[in-house]
Structure 1
Amino acid sequence: MLKDFKPVLGILLRFIIIYLVLLFGYQFYLNTFQNQGLDPFSRLIANQVMSVQNRVGYPTLLYDDVKGEQVWFYVKQSYATRMVEGCNAVSVMILFLAFVFAFYKGAKTFIFAFLGLIILYVMNVLRIVGLNIVVRDFSQYGKMSHDYLFPAIIYGTVVLLWLIWIKFFALKNENS
């Protein structure tokens, strides 16, 4: 009976191992920058969000809160939102990578994972830009946007990428 489930158990085990290794690696990275303010990757995203907002007519400055390990977005002369480590979508990217590599298919796995990370990165920057604009100009929708709309966008992107991976790459030989 277990022979029937062996492929599924193998995929599940690979997913769990990859997820935990990436998660612990990321936690080690975060611990390296503890008490130094926002980590460099989150800072990079905040700077890119600021750059995009400045280009689309939302003058933005960043204000550091080292003690709070966050950066505030000062948009059109008011504080809109703050960037914390959890806004960088790394946890979502880790989940994406663990799933894709659980269905490992050689070199195309690395190519798809790399392209998927780029897509998720861009979507996350645009998600934060969108949230800042909503909070700044339509504050009555800020909480709903932060809690539901923008998480749906980033997680929806992950699910779409997973479906593409499974349909067109991971199970391609089995369906032919």
Structure 2
Amino acid sequence: MKNIFIQYKPFFTFLIKFVLFYFVFAFIYNQFLNQFDVSKFELDSITKMVSEHTTYLMHFFKEDYYVIPNKSESSMKVIYNGKYVARIIEGCNAVSVIVLFAAFIFAFASNRIKTLLYIIVGAILVYVLNIIRIGLLVWAIYYYPDYQEFLHGTMFPLFIYGVVFILWIIWVTKFSKYAK
């Protein structure tokens, strides 16, 4: 049994680092969310910020787009071309995706500075792509409402997780201590 741990030490090291990082940051994020009272339909500030940034993006393209707080749940209503098209909830802000991304990078860490920079740049990239994803999703749902389930449940998650997977591959093959 002891021989197995020695033989697979890199795997167990990766696993322990990944799980610790993920659970610590998931716990911190959960504590952050606990300060908002969902029974009063309060929405966290990160989701509000994502909603505002998506509005800026859509206005850049001269789209008739705005968001308003939802009075019946913790979300932002998305109004596109005068029609209530979608809602932005806490799960739309990509924080959980960013934590998952960062946990993997941390688990394959090389030096601290390089790892921290890659996590920061990757998190910003995922955040920006998530804003683009939301804008495109609203546009697509408006023009193709029959495909809402496919777009929201398959196409756009595939997009964001696909980007994260590519970033992981780049990290492991180019920057991690295992790259050589």
Judge same fold: TM > 0.5, yes or no: yes
Alignment RMSD (CA, Å): 1.3
One-letter amino acid of the structure 1 residue matched with residue 78 of structure 2? F
Q: Aligned residue for 2:145?
A: 139
Given that 1:18 and 1:98 are in contact with CA atoms closer than 8 Å, whether structure 2 keeps it comes out as yes
Moved over 3 A (4+): none
Matches within 5 A, 1:133-172: 133-171=139-177
User: Percent of aligned positions with the same letter in both sequences?
Assistant: 30
Given that 2:77 and 2:87 are in contact with CA atoms closer than 8 Å, whether structure 1 keeps it comes out as yes
Q: Aligned residue for 1:49?
A: 54
Given that 2:109 and 2:177 are in contact with CA atoms closer than 8 Å, whether structure 1 keeps it comes out as no
Moved more, 27-36 or 158-167: 27-36
One-letter amino acid of the structure 2 residue matched with residue 154 of structure 1? I
How far, CA to CA, are the matches of 2:65 and 2:144 in structure 1?
Answer: 17
Is residue 12 of structure 2 the alignment partner of residue 6 of structure 1?
Answer: no
1:68 corresponds to which of 67, 73, 96: 73
Given that 1:39 and 1:85 are in contact with CA atoms closer than 8 Å, whether structure 2 keeps it comes out as yes
Moved more, 28-37 or 145-154: 28-37
Given that 1:37 and 1:67 are in contact with CA atoms closer than 8 Å, whether structure 2 keeps it comes out as no
| 2:34 alignment partner, SS class | helix
Q: Aligned residue for 2:29?
A: 26
Q: Aligned residue for 1:81?
A: 86
Moved more, 50-59 or 115-124: 50-59
Q: Aligned pair count?
A: 174
Given that 2:137 and 2:152 are in contact with CA atoms closer than 8 Å, whether structure 1 keeps it comes out as yes
Q: Aligned residue for 1:116?
A: 122
Mark the runs of 5 or more structure 2 residues left unpaired by the alignment.
none
| 1:32 alignment partner, SS class | coil
Given that 2:110 and 2:177 are in contact with CA atoms closer than 8 Å, whether structure 1 keeps it comes out as no
Given that 1:38 and 1:66 are in contact with CA atoms closer than 8 Å, whether structure 2 keeps it comes out as no
Moved more, 59-68 or 129-138: 59-68
TM-score (norm 1): 0.94
Q: Aligned residue for 1:125?
A: 131
Q: CA deviation at 1:34?
A: 2.4
Mark the runs of 5 or more structure 1 residues left unpaired by the alignment.
none
1:97 corresponds to which of 83, 98, 102: 102
TM-score (norm 2): 0.92
Q: CA deviation at 1:11?
A: 1.1
